[in-house]
Amino acid sequence: MAKPNDLVQGTLDLLILKTVSLEPKHGWAIAKRIQQIPGELLQVQQGSLYPALHRLEQKAWIKARWQGNGDGKKGQILFADGGGTGTD
Amino acid sequence: MVWARRVWMQLHTLFRRNRNAQQLDDEIQFHLEQQIAENIASGMSRAEARYAAMRTFGNPTFLKEATRDTWGWTRLEEITRDVKYACRALSRAPGFTAVAVLTLALGIGANSAVFTVVNGVLLRSMPFPESDRLFLVSLTPRGGPFEWQPGVSDGDYLAFRDQDRAFEEIASFSRGTTATLTGAGDAVQIPVAYVTTEFFSLLRTSPEIGRGFLVGEGEPGNDSVAVLSDELWKVRFGSDSKILGKRIRLDDVSRTVIGVMPPGFVFPDAKAWLPLSIRIDEHNSFTRPVVGRLKTDISAQQALAELETFAEQRPLGPDENRRDRMAQIIPLKDLLVANIRPSLLVFAGAVVFVLLIACANVANLFLARAASREQELAVRSTLGASRWRLLRQLLAESTLLSLGGGGAGILLAFWGVQSLPTLAPAGKLPRMEMIRIDGWVLAFTLSLSFITAVLFGLAPALQATRRCARESLSKGGRSLITGHERIRGALTISEIALALILLTGAGLMLNSFLHLRNVNPGFSPHSIMIMTVDLPDSTYGNANQIQAFHTQTLEELSRLPGVLASGAVDWIPLGENLAMGTFQVEGGHRPRGFMVDKPCASPGYFRAMGIRLVAGREFNEHDNAAAPGVVIVSQSVAQTIWPGENPMGKRISMEDDPKPGDWLIVIGVVEDVRQKGLGKQSDPAIYQSYLQVSSPGFLRHMTFVVRTASHTESVAGGMRAVLRNVDKNQPISVASMDSLVAIATADSRFQTRLLGTFALMALALTIVGIYGVLGYSVAQRTQEIGVRMALGAQKADLLHMLMKKALVLISLGIVIGGAGALTLTRVLAKFLFEVKPSDLPTFAAVALVLSFSALTACYLPVRRAMRVDPMVALRYE
């Protein structure tokens, strides 16, 4: 049963996969990149990106790596293409 | 490989949840800061930039939770929280926890212990490769005079083997035979099995050392070989590594050891295996168990069809009826466990009742506790906890208790299984070596704990969470718990009913056991010592040699100090074996199917055994081979063959076609003896003097009987000395006749004890339960009682008021339980001796005992309540 929500989520997933397939990026950069995509495709709040990113990571469709800033405290999660086929 | 990485991810996030959460915080923080910085760069003020960033981002807390949800462990975290909370709640009520855990431990432990036995004896497969394809082939007469054993007669075996197409291999073997091992330490009797040569390969088990039997090794002249069990090799031959090729003496026959079986291989309860070749003997037909390995593409049904067709086509013997033959294909295990299965299943059923009672008790405790926690639940529900959430909370508590009970139960089961050998009749519980607590038992206990948790936890939890949101807050915790009352009533009634059923079962068994113990066996077993010999035919080849051995032994035994009388018989009553047969009557006829025991006895045997001589005389030394043949018949023979006549001087013959010299004169009549067991009918018997029996086969096995005046132990020593003196190569086994009687009643005693233990557990749990329920409901009504007393109610009125309900519950429980017992005790019918499963006195006695105990349990809290000072009661709460 496909709810409208599923459609949005699926679109967001595709956009994320497309974005990280070029090069590893962290959340902020992914958000910026998606915003630059022409058209009114994505009318979601930026924060919705994070549940989606982590869901894709759990599905092993993308990889995540912690990238510290050298001070051991601050840092970002770097997301990269999972290398999988993308099928379940 | 995506799934593998997913699993890895899941586990990874499980153990790094806290760190991941920190990183997520950082990440989102970073995102917001970047956005703010960008907003400022585009000209907003700092505050404005912040608000705008938050707007475009969304609610960070909500998004963080949504992200954490994708990690997939929120359910686990919730469960962990539930468990932590349940731990705290339970530790605040240590008394409640202890009682509940103990009760459950009793119920679960008893079940685990019984399951351990059932698992080991009935469920675990035989220790052979692909044992599920091993079946017994059985073709036996229906309802013969002997206890049913699966088997095939030798003739049928050979014929069936030749035409069979369902089995890969078929082997015949004997069980229950013994042989005397000499030359390896003291002479000793060991159980041996004669097996056809395909036996080991059929079981797919090869000897650890050496080889199994070769084809043709069973043939006479070729058969002086033996395979030893690992235990025999270790104990008797000191694990001799050069055992192969050594000669050992079994029944004084020298045999070459060709193999030693692996440890644990004892099937069928043997310590040595000897080769057997099946030959047709015109006079005797042996019936032995036959095992076959089914071909992989053949089902047991197909094999049975084949066997039935075979049975249809076999020619009938003179006395046979085709319908009397029973064709069966049975799993091999049944050879060992078929007789014990019904009683184990009864125990398993009984022990479930104990668990149900334990559950009812704990459920009652939970109800009482839920009532006092109603307010807490109401608060939680008002604050937004869903009913499911509260239910889960309560179920977490019951599961925790139940797991505690299960843990303690396993310890109990461990102890129970340890003490089983002392409780079980020696040698009567097969496959004892398979009984142990293993993974299956642990899994059983674990699942039982979970089931139990739902069983006792669900109803109280549903009840407790039903109305809390709506009503309880306003009631300030003093709710009238009518719903609880109904459930408690039902629980109490079922407890009483279950306990009554168990007690009735145990009562019937006890009654039957007492009957069995008081049965008159036809002889007086006290102060009798017995000693059995099996003379090997290599040393004692003919009847004269055997008779000389017996005569000398008897004479020396009679000279022992303290011996009042001595005698001998070939098959001792309540012993292991006997020979039954037919006979001819001079000028009369024997009713069709009337068979008798044909013991050989010595002079003095009847006096020594205390078998009453009804008429005529006993055998004496002059009834020897030179004198005319004489017999002594038992009463039922006299009454059946010569009703209303004097049997003295009548003549019978043991031969089918008697010649003039074969007739034997009746010289005496003795009482019937229960030969096959105390619970079995007395056998008619025709005794012959051992001096007049010429077939060595009937003389070899002889039991000497000595009636002692006093000290049986010193006489036993004397008996051993006599045997050593007469033939030092005979293994010595001296026992008391009382011990034979004890073995004969062992099954019944074991069943009675075990069922009695369960019934007492049930009774104790029930009484504690009733006490608790009544105590609680009386405590709830303390204020009411105070008011009534202050207003002038008499003690008798109060007693009546409080006890009335208990009486109703107890009577209902007894009526329902009685009806249940009437239906269920029928399964005991086959274990009961001279007691009907619906025995009224037992039912009445058990109901009385239970009512009395239950009433006592009720009366105690009621009396306490009535002693309460009205003023105190009024101030209560």
Q: Quick one: which of A17, A25, A51 has its CA closest to B58?
A: A51
* CB atoms inside a 10 Å sphere around CB B15: 10
Residue B470: the pLDDT is 53
Structure tokens at B498: 């279950």
Mean pLDDT score, B763-778: 87
Residue A76 near chain B (CB below 8 Å): yes
Residue A2: the pLDDT is 37
Residue B322: the pLDDT is 66
pLDDT band at B794; cut points 50, 70, 90: confident
Residue B398: the pLDDT is 92
Mean pLDDT score, B587-591: 82
Q: What proportion of chain B, given as a percentage, has pLDDT over 70?
A: 94
Q: What proportion of chain B, given as a percentage, has pLDDT over 90?
A: 33
- Please tell me the least confidently modeled range out of B50-54, B639-643, B760-764: B50-54
Q: Residue B293 is inside which H or E element, if any?
A: strand B290-294
CB contact under 8 Å between B63 and A48, yes or no, is yes
Angle, CA B786 vertex, CA B780 and CA B789 arms, to 5° = 135
User: Does the pLDDT of residue B293 top 80, yes or no?
Assistant: yes
User: Does the pLDDT of residue A87 top 50, yes or no?
Assistant: no
User: Does the pLDDT of residue B555 top 90, yes or no?
Assistant: yes
User: Is the bond into B318 cis (omega within 30 degrees of 0)?
Assistant: no
Which residue in the block uniquely carries the two structure tokens 């077939």? B695
Mean pLDDT score, B656-671: 89
Q: Cα separations (Å) of B384 from B377, B381, B389, B469? A: 11, 5, 10, 10
Across chain B, mean pLDDT equals: 86
Listed by start position, the domains of chain B span 2-72, 78-125+339-479, 131-337, 480-519+745-877, 536-729
Q: How far is CA B800 from the centre of its chain?
A: 46
Touching A: B residues 70-129, CB under 8 Å: 70-72
- In contact, B191 and B176? CB cutoff 8 Å: yes
Nearest-CA distance from A58 to chain B in Å?
Answer: 6
Q: 3-class DSSP state for residue B485?
A: helix
Q: B80: which residues sit within 8 A by CB, 6+ positions away? A: none
Highest mean pLDDT of the ranges B90-99, B500-509, B587-596 = B500-509
pLDDT band at B694; cut points 50, 70, 90: confident
Residue B733: the pLDDT is 83
Nearest-CA distance from A69 to chain B in Å?
Answer: 11
Q: Cα separations (Å) of B111 from B358, B359, B429, B439, B503? A: 12, 13, 18, 15, 18
* Nearest CB to A47; choose among B30, B34, B60: B60
Mean pLDDT score, B574-589: 78
Mean pLDDT score, B772-792: 82
pTM of the model: 0.77
pLDDT digits (tens, 9 = 90+) for B63-97: 888 887 777 677 777 888 888 988 998 898 888 89
User: Does the pLDDT of residue A1 top 70, yes or no?
Assistant: no
- Please tell me the least confidently modeled range out of B225-239, B315-329, B380-394, B679-693: B315-329
User: Does the pLDDT of residue B529 top 80, yes or no?
Assistant: yes
How far apart CA B830 and CA B480 sit, in angstroms, is 50
Angle (deg, nearest 10), helices B341-372 and B94-118:
160
CB contact under 8 Å between A54 and B70, yes or no, is yes
β B272-275/B600-601 pair status:
unpaired
User: Does the pLDDT of residue A72 top 60, yes or no?
Assistant: no
pLDDT digits (tens, 9 = 90+) for B182-205: 877 777 888 999 999 999 999 999
User: Does the pLDDT of residue B688 top 90, yes or no?
Assistant: yes
Q: 3-class DSSP state for residue B694?
A: coil
* CB atoms inside a 10 Å sphere around CB A11: 13
User: Does the pLDDT of residue B326 top 90, yes or no?
Assistant: no
Tell me phi and psi for residue B625, to 5 degrees: -60, -30
User: Does the pLDDT of residue B309 top 80, yes or no?
Assistant: yes
* CB atoms inside a 10 Å sphere around CB A23: 10
Q: Which residue has the higher pLDDT, B77 or B717?
A: B717
* Nearest CB to B27; choose among A51, A60, A76: A76
ipTM comes to 0.79
Listed by start position, the domains of chain A span 8-36+47-81
Work out the burial of residue B238: count CB atoms within 10 Å of its CB; fewer than 13 is exposed, 13-18 middle, 19 or more buried: exposed
Residue B742: the pLDDT is 85
pLDDT band at B877; cut points 50, 70, 90: low
User: Does the pLDDT of residue B530 top 80, yes or no?
Assistant: yes
Q: Which residue has the higher pLDDT, B638 or A25?
A: B638
Q: Note the CATH number of domain A8-36+47-81.
A: 1.10.10.10
Question: Which residues from B are below 8 Å from A60, CB to CB?
Answer: 2, 5-6, 9
Nearest-CA distance from A46 to chain B in Å?
Answer: 5
Q: Which of A46, A79, A85 to mutate to test the interface with B (most CBs of B within 10 A)?
A: A46
CB contact under 8 Å between B26 and A75, yes or no, is yes
How far apart CA B597 and CA B575 sit, in angstroms, is 13
pLDDT band at A38; cut points 50, 70, 90: low
pLDDT digits (tens, 9 = 90+) for B630-661: 999 999 999 999 998 899 999 999 888 888 88
pLDDT band at A88; cut points 50, 70, 90: very low
